[in-house]
Amino acid sequence: VYIWNVVSGQLDRSFELSERWVYGVAFSPQGGLLAASCDSSAVLLLDSGSGTVRHRLEGLGGRADKVCF
């Protein structure tokens, strides 16, 4: 996952995930979490500063294409 600075156009940070594909991402309103929907039918909740996976939500019954807070 790549996070870009929209003002400068520069890459701000990137996270390596064990998932092959990420279909959607969303920042929490406070900016501390990043949700990512993945090809494994899971949604990952990441610390937006470090990229550490805080929670893995599974059992959705299918792929989640979009996420939001």
Residue 28: pLDDT above 90?
A: yes
- Among 55, 23, 54, which Cα is nearest to 40's? 23
pLDDT-derived band at 62 (thresholds 50, 70, 90) equals: confident
Task: Identify the pLDDT of residue 58.
Answer: 87
Amino acid present at 45: L
- Best-predicted range by mean pLDDT among 26-30, 37-41, 55-59? 26-30
Q: How far apart are CA 36 and CA 66, in angstroms?
A: 8
* pTM summary value: 0.82
Q: How far apart are CA 35 and CA 48, in angstroms?
A: 9
